Amino acid sequence: MDTSIDSLLSDSKIQILSAFYGDGMEKHNVSSRLNKLIQNDLLDIDVNPLSLACPLANNRPKYLTVKYQIDQTVFFTFGEDGKRLLIDLNSKGYQSTNSAEIIAASYGTAKTKYNVMHKIEHYKVFNWREYHADHETFPSDPQNDDKDYLTFVYLGQDDIHMVTCEEGESISYNLDQTELFRKQAGKEHFIPNVPMLPEFGKGMDCSWAAALTAALLAMGIKTNYEHVMGVSGACYRLAFCSPGWDYSSVDGLVAYDYATWGYKAFGFFAKFADRVDKTNRAEERKYMVNEIRHNMPVLGINIRVAPEWGVICGYKDNGADLFCRTKYDARVIDSPDYKKGKLNPFDYLYVDNWPFIITYFADRTTPPSDKENLLNSLRVFIDCAKQENCRGYKMGFKAYEVWQNDLLEESWYQNNDDEQFTRRLSVNQFCSLALFDARQAAYSYLSENKNLLLDKVDEMEQMVAFFSEIAKKAQQIHKMLDSGEYLEGEKARHFWTTKMRVNQAKLLAEMLELEHKAMSIAEKIV
Question: E strands, 139-295, where?
Answer: 149-155, 160-166, 170-173, 180-183, 189-190, 239-240, 268-274
Residue 294 lies in a domain: yes
454 and 401, same domain (yes or no): yes
Q: Which helix (H) or strand (E) covers residue 525, if one does?
A: helix 498-525
- Half-sphere exposure at residue 374, Cβ-oriented, CA atoms within 13 angstroms: 21
Mean pLDDT lowest among 113-117, 186-190, 325-329: 186-190
Say which DSSP state 5 is in. Answer: H
- pLDDT at site 317: 85
Asked if residue 476 and residue 401 are part of one domain, the reply reads yes
pLDDT tens digits for 427-451? 999 999 999 999 999 999 999 999 9
pLDDT, position 185: 62
214 and 335 belong to one structural domain: yes
Q: How far apart are the C-alpha atoms of 159 and 65, rounded to whole Å?
A: 10
More confident residue, 411 or 130: 411
DSSP letters, 475-512, are: HHHHHHH--SS---HHHHHHHS-HHHHHHHHHHHHHHH
What's 427's domain CATH number?
A: 1.20.120
CB 491 within 8 A of CB 344: no
Please give the full DSSP string across 264-280, using - where no structure is assigned: HTTTEEEEEEES--GGG
| pLDDT recorded at residue 337 | 76
- Residue 323 and residue 394 in one domain: no
Classified as helix, coil or strand, 434 is: helix
- The whole-number pLDDT of residue 374 equals 98
If asked whether residues 167 and 208 sit together in one domain, one would say no
Residue at which a domain ends, from 41, 66, 95: 95
pLDDT of residue 1: 44
Q: What's the mean pLDDT in 244-259?
A: 92
- The answer to whether residue 260 is domain-embedded is no
Sign of the dihedral through C-alpha 363, 369, 372, 378: positive
Report pLDDT for 341. 60
User: Which band of pLDDT confidence, cut at 50, 70 and 90, is reported for residue 338?
Assistant: confident
Task: Tell me the C-alpha distance between 10 and 88, whole Å.
Answer: 15
Which helix (H) or strand (E) segment is 225 a member of? helix 225-232
Question: 178 pLDDT exceeds 90?
Answer: no
Region 150-164: mean pLDDT is 94
pLDDT greater than 60 at residue 7: no
Contacts of 249 (CB under 8 A, 6+ apart): 239, 240, 241, 393, 427, 431, 434
The pLDDT value given to residue 3: 52
pTM for the full predicted model: 0.69
**pLDDT band of 10, cuts 50, 70, 90:** low
Residue 339 pLDDT greater than 70, yes or no: no
Over pLDDT 70: what percentage of the chain? 97
Q: Write the pLDDT tens digit of every residue in 206-232.
A: 999 999 999 999 998 999 999 999 999
Q: Show the domain range for 112.
A: 96-185
Number of domains the chain contains: 4
- Residues 16, 43: contact at Cβ < 8 Å? yes
Tell me what the mean pLDDT of segment 171-191 comes to: 81
**pLDDT mean over 270-286:** 91
Q: Which of 96-100, 437-441, 451-455, 477-481 has the lowest mean pLDDT?
A: 96-100
Is there a single domain that holds both residue 86 and residue 101?
A: no
Where does a domain end: 29, 63, 95? Answer: 95
- Asked if 327 and 412 sit in the same domain, the reply is no
In a shared domain, residues 468 and 398: yes
Residue in 519, 508, 503 with CA at minimum distance from that of residue 466: 519
Domain edge (last residue) among 48, 65, 95: 95
- Report d(CA 370, CA 359) in Å as an integer: 24
Same domain, 140 and 194: no
What is the DSSP track for 290-357?
Answer: HHHHTT--EEEESSBSBS-EEEEEEEEGGGTEEEEE-TT-HHHHTSHHHHHT--STT-PEEP-S--SE
Rounded mean pLDDT, 478-499: 92
Averaged pLDDT, 159-187: 85
Q: For residue 280, tell me if it sits in a domain.
A: yes
Give per-residue pLDDT as tens, 280-334.
999 999 999 999 988 899 999 999 999 999 999 999 888 899 999 999 999 898 8
Residues 411 and 336 in one domain: no
Residue 262 forms part of a structural domain: no
Domain check: are 171 and 274 in the same one?
Answer: no
Task: Report whether 70 contacts 16 (CB < 8 A).
Answer: no
